[in-house]
Amino acid sequence: MNSKEVLAELSARLNRPQVELKKGWREAIVVLRRGFAKGRGFSFIGFGTWRIRERNKRRAFHPVQKRYLMLPPKMRLTFRAGKKLQETLNRGR
């Protein structure tokens, strides 16, 4: 699903106009981005958790130059599915 499909479904379920929901959706994304930029994670009970983790610097081989490079540390966003989401995904198996 993409955001348009999610907004259409929410609009039908909540009996609200899509334009109104789209504004809320955009504001929620802005708030999440600011939190992630500050290094804070986000938990959505029953769905999952997003966390910020630092990836250590590492050595990588450059095949064209035929030499090793040091790659700097990076901040990574990770997701771990919640228990209820895992159960929903595995129910059909």
pLDDT tens digit string along 45-92? Answer: 989 999 999 999 999 999 999 999 999 999 999 999 999 999 998 986
HSE-CB for 34 with a 13 A CA cutoff: 6
The token pair at 30 is: 């802005």
**Burial (0-12, 13-18, 19+ Cβ within 10 Å), 10:** middle
**pLDDT of the residue at 22:** 93
**pLDDT-based confidence at residue 93 (cuts at 50, 70, 90):** low
Which residues does residue 42 pair with via DSSP β-bridges, in sequence order? Answer: 50
Closest CA to 3 of 23, 19, 25, 28: 25
**pLDDT-based confidence at residue 1 (cuts at 50, 70, 90):** confident
- The domains found in the chain, sorted by start residue, are 1-39 (no CATH), 41-93 (4.10.520.10)
